[in-house]
Amino acid sequence: MKKVLFISLAVVFVYATQNLRQKALDKGLRPIPKDFATLKSEVDDKYNPLSIDKIKLGEELFFDKNLSLDRTISCASCHDIKNGGEDGKPTAIGYKKRANPSHLNSPTVLNTAYSKHLFWDGRAKSLRDQAKGPTQATFEMASTPELIESRVKENPKYSREFENIYGEDAITFDNITKAIAAYEKTLVTRSRYDEFLEGDENALTQEEKRGLNLFIDMGCKACHFGPAIGGQKIQKFPLREYNSIIDLTTTFDEKTHQRHFSQMHFNFEMYHLFPFKNIGGFLGKNGTRYFRVPILRNISKTAPYFHNGSVKELREAIQIMGKYQLGLDLTKEQLDALEAFLKSLDGEIVDYNLTKK
């Protein structure tokens, strides 16, 4: 009898796991490709087609400090690909130690191949456009298109590589930023989460699976979707007005998938725009509090959180998002599960063996 019960429970477990995986796929959560051909088919830009030579050139330029005015800063300075794809600072620090005037931190460069909006206000629609901003900003690399072109022309190796890819007179600011963007498109990461989506039922723990189920049912996936789990839309933050006098909160029942009225309390911090210090005064796109939805892959490695880096702990960030985006007071058990799931998204950059091709 015990053996039959054990087999029955195992069948139920497998069925539930398969349902969760299909549920995730149906909601727009997809794995990062294992092979370069598939990646290219998903992220290629008709205005900047990917090629092996262009990607290799872009990698050299990404790490080249000569592109900055004082030759001390490269793209990699603020986007450390070995540490979450950013610099771990509340605000980006650039030329002559200048801080971002709006106290904005550096978003991760990892998995931005799947982004439809770049910068915190989403103003750039492609990586090739995004690359033009930091190179010229006076508080970042502080350079100019003309200076960057002249610096690149100083290197005979670059001249040969550009001519091979683009033809004669190919060292232009546009081509330089296109090459950088091509390299950035290969900076994608895979984790156990991808293996789960591809059919490995044991790739995630029970707690992580519970977190994934909550992530879907609570509505997190409405903004954080796609292979990068974010970066594909802009969204108002906070959705629930932080300066509202009456704060209505609910709880989420995992069995019925319904919200229940929980409490009503008075919020006397009426004049704050965010549920944390409004350092820098940045209000998103056109001052409307619409922000690019962050990428959640490797999120445990990209603290501090939110646009101005005011939140240090991932758990607090989850709690804030639950309350002010979803209107939910998350329980300890729900926070535990969601945090476990988000940590399962930590992965390594995929090696597509491009240097051998």
Dist. CA 170–CA 282, nearest whole Å: 38
Dist. CA 56–CA 62, nearest whole Å: 10
Q: Where are the alpha helices (DSSP H) in 185-313?
A: 192-197, 206-217
Q: Please say whether the beta carbons of 299 and 342 come within 8 A.
A: yes
Dist. CA 263–CA 265, nearest whole Å: 7
Tokens for 152? 């690149």
Q: One of 42, 59, 60, 140 is an active-site residue; which one?
A: 140
Q: CB under 8 Å to 178, separation ≥6 — which residues?
A: 48, 54, 58, 128
HEC secondary structure over 162-194 = HHHHHCCCCCCHHHHHHHHHHHHCCCCEECHHH
Helical pair 52-62 and 156-166, crossing angle rounded to 10 deg = 150
Active site residue 269: no
Helical pair 206-217 and 332-343, crossing angle rounded to 10 deg = 100
Q: Which residues are catalytic?
A: 140
